[in-house]
Amino acid sequence: MLYSLAFKLFLSKLDPEDAHHLGMFAIRLASSLRLTKLLPKIKSESVSAFGLTFNAPFGLAAGFDKNAIAIRALGELGFSHVEIGTVTAIAQDGNEQPRLFRLKPDRALINRMGFNNDGAEVIAKRLESLRATNQKLPIIGVNIGKSRVVAVADAVKDYETSARLLAPFADYIAVNVSSPNTPGLRSLQSVEALKPILEAVLSQAKGKPVLVKIAPDLADEDVIAVAKLAKTLSLAGVIATNTTISRAGLKTASSTVEAMGAGGLSGAPVNARSLEVLSLLQKTLGDDLAIVSVGGVETREQVLERIKAGATLVQGYTGFIYFGPLWARKLNRI
């Protein structure tokens, strides 16, 4: 209730990216002052997936903590795992601002951030320092993507570099070939283009689990093809789904949406397609590979729905913006 009031009266009036930076500062400050330690412990069900034990099923999707600066704090807020990134081999500023937009009637976001991050080498050192503290941490996933300045034809070496630098400090690696905000990236979801990338990452993963993240806009037959490839290569799992380029069925005025421009849509409107893709993956993969379901999840009931439909783990991001810092604790509470 307090967060809802603060969001309505203050945070929603700020530029979304400024609000994000303010929120990150507040989260890190609360953790450094040990305020998050005062939160009561929640009873959750642990989950075993790809050789790791997660203290609860619900975690934070990539995109929120791009540079691995708030992992401990986010774990203390109730996320069982934090997927950082997307990280690229070469540091980059991302797209020009404004590049993040709220669709409040839809509880959604449009972003065209463009993988803004400090680069694999810097983030690897940051993770190494964090690990050296021996603090209690959530499971850390590292989401890697293609550097913008690297041609699609040279993507394999680019992903390979990121995997080599980051794998020693990751609990698992997520290969992102599905963001709509890097030119040509989604073309890498074709089986022919994807196979050498995944093989290169596997070769550098040092035995860490490797998953691939796909878009909701893939045709059903392409979802199945990627799932079969993941199975053939003995990946740890598939993360489904990323943001969508679709603008269908939105409550926000079409003129407002058009003015926001290009970018990936996340939040409640992605829920239906995310569930459809989950069903396709479950039928194809069965229990052979883990499925991490993400897209439009807002409530504990929806987390349970995803698990019943075949998800091993569930992730969210946009709901964190709309429902506040205690959101993950509510979703992970038995």
Q: Is the dihedral of CA 201, 165, 175, 57 positive or negative?
A: positive
Given the residues 44, 179, 266, 274, the one annotated as active site: 179
Spatial CB neighbours of 236, under 8 Å, sequence gap ≥ 6:
49, 50, 51, 172, 209, 210, 211, 289, 290
Q: Is the dihedral of CA 58, 32, 140, 220 positive or negative?
A: positive
Identity at 224, one-letter amino acid code = I
How many C-alpha atoms does 9 have within 13 Å on its Cβ side?
6
Q: Peptide bond before 86: cis, by omega within 30 degrees of 0?
A: yes
For residues 282-313, one letter each, b for 16 or more C-beta atoms within 10 angstroms of the residue's C-beta and e for the rest, the string is bebbeeebbbbbbbbbbeeebbebbbeebbbb
Q: Where are the alpha helices (DSSP H) in the chain?
A: 2-9, 16-32, 71-76, 120-132, 155-166, 191-204, 220-232, 254-260, 271-285, 300-308, 318-323, 327-332
Q: Peptide bond before 98: cis, by omega within 30 degrees of 0?
A: yes
- Is residue 179 part of the annotated active site? The answer reads yes
- DSSP letter string, 227-269: HHHHHHTT-SEEEE---BS--TT-SS-HHHHHHH-S-EEEEGG
Furthest-apart CA pair in the chain: how many Å?
A: 51
The CA distance from 120 to 126, in Å, is: 10
Query: What's the first-to-final CA gap in the chain, in angstroms?
Result: 21
Active site residues: 179
